[in-house]
Amino acid sequence: MSESNKDNTTHFGFSEVPVDEKVKRVADVFHSVAGKYDLMNDLMSGGVHRLWKRITIERSGARPGHTILDIAGGTGDLTKKFSRIVGRDGKVILADINDSMLKVGRDKLIDSGTAGNVEYIQANAECLPFADNTFDIITIAFGLRNVTDKDAALKSMHRVLKPGGKLMVLEFSKTNNPVLSKLYDVYSFNILPQMGKLIANDAESYRYLAESIRMHPDQETLKDMMKTAGLVNCHYENMTGGVVALHTGIKP
C-alpha cells in the first residue's frame, strides 16, 4: 500500500502533490519545527509521548552489545535510552532524513553526556545506507507516516535487520472509540495548529502533522504491510485507546 499512485502523486496531509515534491515539503516542516520539537511534543501529548517511548524501550529486548538503528530519531529520545542499555560494546545509530532535526538531536545528546557509542547519519528510510543484516533492532517512532513510499521503507528496514532482528514502528494510529475520536479531531484540527502558531510560530506545519496522522494506514493495514515486506510474527499494541500503536515484526 504505497501512498503514490499511477499519476505519480502522493499525499501531503490531505493534499495531493507530485511524489518528488513531498520529500522537500516534509523537510520544510521539520526544518521549521526542529528547534521547538521537544517542547511541542510535551505540550501536544501532555507528556504522554514519554510513556509511549518507554514502553517501546521495554518491549525492544535491547541488551548490552546490541547494534540498534533509530530511524527518524529526531531529537534522540530513544537513542539516549538505547545508548545506556547497549553499553560500550554496542552501538546506536541515530538516523534522520532532516539535517536540522539531526543537528538538534546530536547537540542534545552530546550536552546530556550520552556515551560515545552513538553515530549520527542523515539517511532516507526508503534506501538505508547500511549493509544487509546489520542491526539487532530497528525503531522508527512517529516517522513512518512522513515517508513517501512506506512499502519501500519497510523493505529497506527488513534488508538491514539481522535474521532474528526486530523492527518496531511507533506511530499515531486509529482509535475505534467514537468519543475519543471526536475529541481527537477537535484537538488535532483546532487546538494543535493554534499551539503551533503560539509556540513555534508555525500553524501550517502542525496542521500538516495532524493531517498526516489521518492519512496513515490503520493498525491492521500496517501489520499486513510489514508482513508483505518479509517480516513475521507481526503484531501491534494499542496505547491511549488506539491513538498510538506499537507495531512489531521479526526478520526470519
Please, are residues 106 and 120 in contact by the beta-carbon 8 Å criterion?
Answer: yes
Tell me if 72 is assigned to a ligand binding site: no
Q: What percent of the chain has pLDDT over 70?
A: 89
Q: How far apart (Å, rounded) are the C-alpha atoms in residues 208 and 196?
A: 11
Please, are residues 92 and 70 in contact by the beta-carbon 8 Å criterion?
Answer: yes
Residue 192 has pLDDT above 60, yes or no: yes
Burial 197-228 (b: 16+ CB within 10 A, else e): eeebebeebbbbbbbbbbebbebeebbebbee
Please, are residues 234 and 227 in contact by the beta-carbon 8 Å criterion?
Answer: yes
**CA-based nearest residue to 153, from 250, 60, 225:** 225
Q: How far apart (Å, rounded) are the C-alpha atoms in residues 121 and 97?
A: 8
pLDDT at 126: 96
Q: How far apart (Å, rounded) are the C-alpha atoms in residues 73 and 76?
A: 5
Across the range 97-114, mean pLDDT stands at: 93
- Confidence band for 14, pLDDT divided at 50, 70 and 90: low
* Lowest-pLDDT choice from 35-49, 77-91, 159-173: 35-49
Instruction: Tell me which of 40 and 203 has the higher pLDDT.
Output: 203
Task: Looking at the structure, give the CATH architecture of the domain made up of residues 9-176+207-250.
Answer: 3-Layer(aba) Sandwich (3.40)
Tell me if 20 is assigned to a ligand binding site: no
DSSP state, residue 201? S
Tell me if 134 is assigned to a ligand binding site: no
Averaged pLDDT score across all residues of the chain: 88
Tell me if 96 is assigned to a ligand binding site: yes
Is the pTM above the cut of 0.85?
yes
- Confidence band for 9, pLDDT divided at 50, 70 and 90: confident
Residue 51 has pLDDT above 60, yes or no: yes
Residue with cell 546530536: 106
Across the range 17-32, mean pLDDT stands at: 70
pLDDT at 184: 78
